[in-house]
Amino acid sequence: MATATRSTKYRRQSDTDLSRMEIMEGAALCFEARGYSATSLDEVAARIASTKGRIYHHYASKAELFLDVYRTGMMMNFQAIEPILERDMPPIERLKAVLKAHVMCVIRTKAFQNVVGQGVDMLRHGTMPANEHAELRQLAQLRDTYSEHFSKVLEDAMAAGDIEFANIKIALNSVFMCINGPIVWFTPRKGQDQKEIEAVADECVLYAIRLLGYTGKTP
């Protein structure tokens, strides 16, 4: 099974180094709020109440930091769904579980997922220098691998007679529109009950599988 392993380029310190994750979390919030072009490393440093020098200890440039946030966002997605892919369960239950895991990850890591979306647009419009653009292409391949997991789960559910579609690409894009929706319109309130958040995820999953003609038990 393909996994979102971190490239050697980013292994400057152990993944247990919380300082580095703190930088990425602050950067993700800044990129989410202002976009890549309008965000400076000074703003990231202010967000985490630190210095720009601390950031440069880990990253040579804003572009490198952005790309690491992008890659980490994708790793979070893989980590959310891969355990489900290995379980022995009926295809439709695996589909529901994978879709819900993705939605919950999107909600939990919203700022990182917004950076992923920005990276997709930047690749499309060629707004990064050549070296970083090449890295964006590699990350796009990682997203393709992630999508392939969903394609397999959808195909298995259709083979079992639980859903129906004519074109896997259209089906996949329609499903992702539903399960990525919270990136745009949902942010949990401070202290919001976990059951309420999961109810949002369940509703997204329901819309997604209803699009595919599912008429059975709801999530």
Q: Sorting pLDDT into bands at 50, 70 and 90, what band is 218?
A: confident
| Amino acid identity for residue 104 in this structure | M
Query: Whole-angstrom Cα distance, residue 22 to residue 13?
Result: 13
User: Is pLDDT above 80 for 18?
Assistant: no
| pTM as predicted | 0.89
55 touches 139 (CB < 8 A): no
User: Is pLDDT above 60 for 17?
Assistant: no
CATH 1.10.10.10 is held by the domain 67-211: no
Residue holding tokens 């992702």?
A: 176
Q: What is the pLDDT of residues 44-103, one digit of tens each?
A: 999 999 999 999 999 999 999 999 999 999 999 999 999 999 999 999 999 999 999 999
Q: Given this model, what pLDDT does residue 191 score?
A: 93
What lies within 8 Å, CB to CB, of 125 at 6+ separation is: none
Q: Sorting pLDDT into bands at 50, 70 and 90, what band is 21?
A: very high
Query: Whole-angstrom Cα distance, residue 98 to residue 100?
Result: 5
Domain positions in the chain are: 67-211
Q: Given this model, what pLDDT does residue 194 score?
A: 96
Q: Which residue has the higher pLDDT, 89 or 2?
A: 89
Q: Given this model, what pLDDT does residue 195 score?
A: 96
110 touches 183 (CB < 8 A): yes
Cα–Cα separations (whole angstroms), residue 13 to 69, 72, 116: 15, 15, 23
Radius of gyration for the alpha carbons in the chain, expressed in angstroms and rounded: 18
Give residue 135's Cα distance to chain centre: 17
Q: Which residues of 168-186 are buried (b: 16+ CB within 10 A; e: fewer)?
A: eeebbeebeebbbbbbeee
Query: Whole-angstrom Cα distance, residue 82 to residue 80?
Result: 6
Mean pLDDT in the chain?
91
User: Is pLDDT above 80 for 12?
Assistant: no
Q: What is the pLDDT of residues 124-133, one digit of tens each?
A: 998 888 888 8
Handedness of CA 37, 40, 46, 52 (dihedral sign): positive
Q: Sorting pLDDT into bands at 50, 70 and 90, what band is 213?
A: very high
Give the closest residue to 3 by CA, choosing from 120, 131, 142: 142
Q: Given this model, what pLDDT does residue 187 score?
A: 94
Query: Whole-angstrom Cα distance, residue 126 to residue 132?
Result: 10
Q: Sorting pLDDT into bands at 50, 70 and 90, what band is 7?
A: very low
Percent of the chain with pLDDT over 90: 85
Query: Whole-angstrom Cα distance, residue 205 to residue 219?
Result: 7
How deeply is 147 buried, as exposed, middle or buried, from its count of CB atoms within 10 A (0-12, 13-18, 19+)?
middle
Query: Whole-angstrom Cα distance, residue 57 to residue 54?
Result: 5
42 C-beta neighbours (distance < 10 Å), count:
11
Q: Given this model, what pLDDT does residue 150 score?
A: 98
DSSP-derived letter for residue 15 is T
Question: For 188-199, what is the mean pLDDT?
Answer: 95
